[in-house]
Structure 1
């Protein structure tokens, strides 16, 4: 992250626990963006709504501006905004309550390339508005923008939740080193109607339907089970998607030695 461009983001992070940027070297040489104010106003007038857990593919030219809004649907431990994949170089600006500018934001992630992170880790309440600004430091294409809230899930612990049709909820799991299998099991009580799907991905949240390592469908089998052999140590992400409304879903993640 370029230090001079990110001072205000780090200052706010100390107050609001907002994580800023990728832990990657190489952004120190990036020049500050120069954009006419009227272009930012035009971008804000064309703001696109994005939805929790639903990726959006974006492309833009050199110096381009695109704006997005998310209304966080539920209280959560963490709310993440990420850019992944594609080509070129897009920078990510995020602000809660108001539209960010190139000098006023909660978080700026401006690594070289289009792998960017902005994360809120406290005070993530429901029905809060978050605003995203993408700036084309260079032309970029087919980059995935994903916003999602997540909650920690301890291993070998069953959590129970209800899900709505088309809702997507992400759980974050810490996977220890040297394990043979990561196994995710989701089920619902007998007599409870409804259908759901489970997606699992290591390192980043699933970007359904493309960036997913394992999928299980309650309409095919109950319990719905996803397994990853020889999982990498670190974070794994489990997403529950409501195909229809389901009042009760139980979810558990285990790591196995064989």
Structure 2
């Protein structure tokens, strides 16, 4: 067994271990092989969804059940695993195994505070700063305790520690002479790589976290704790309401599709694709439980009108509002350069809540705005993108938008289409404004999920501008999709090619394209047009080659072209100038 010398306060733990009440895997790696570092302490998204603090305490420490929410809350706040927090508590006070220990001093003399929540908050703030490389472990309450913490973690969670030790051993094996890996052991890591402005989610991933068509106030960006850390957070509200106001008709909504993790009654996180997540703090009436899969723009609760609820595990707030944050791989990520509903955020100040427009602003549609009221236009639905696995109930409303540049002559097709799945979702489309149940340009209003709005039937053929889409649940709908497509174009004029020389270009053709037409005209010499898919066109590689005589326009038309790069080559059979190249593709 790996029982080291225990302090007097941990004698009960020693007795429990010897009695077999707390069991240890005797096949586990030795203490020297297992060592917690900040990487092993991180609260991963997998653990958020697989480890239930309340269930663990009910089975192993029922006397701590009343504190399960606080442990879960500060795990989410600090990005430190709740298992590590439980190991810290056990290491210092024996409170996990000893119901007689002081419930209000879980970290004992390690903390300068008194009270369960107060001590956990101090711990969370210090370890959050370590995770963001603002501090080292040596400058926190854990200084000098890492070996003991590793041993305690191993005792409480032997299987997890074994997996960590084996993973570490495997990585070190690659550093031995003669291995296929490095020839020397890398220096120990000082912490996790912290996301910054270079880490950006897709521009059409995140919506503002309130209903499309509504206007809320947004203040300056700030660190999650309001301090000097990475500016990951925004405070948002409808404004004008004090504590005690009726906010039951004001909904906070999910910024992107994902899986819910409820950290506490006032703190929710939604885990998205690509390692991203968003958090929602100062909340009440949470509408979803951990593990729920939800869409973008789904009602998730209200920001709290009761101060005690808004601060369910401490903190500060001057009035009702939503505290919204962005995370990457579990750690708070800078908002600088991030897009919310198409607004690109600038957040470059070195102090929290700075509303100086030079350091904090939002820009879109060629304009820039400072801190203030922002209308939510919804998330861009880029041309050719198919968004799948959409689910909802009767009355669910999902919103998207697509911006189409001013189109040249002959490019006048736009299509919005729902398809697949079960149930009944209705498609609403409007150009230049957000559609409602009573205000729209197109609404097929059919049974089921297969509906289309098309510029050839019901929509304007002047496709340039901003198009808005609403999906409305007539009944529950499951696994449906929305696709938006419009005409595409590429023009290049006054091209010159010498005899035997080439001019090369290419176009990206999206899925669902009905036809691709490429032509050259306007010349008096003899150029030859070559078109090929996937690689550069040449005399030996082409899908289409009209090969016409001098002065004759050459055209290639490909029906149902494969999505991807189509390469265009113009070869000079003789010297030719003034060539006009035109490519058009239609959905």
More helix by share: 2
Larger Rg: 2
More strand by share: 1
TM-score by length of structure 1 reads: 0.49
TM-score by length of structure 2 reads: 0.24
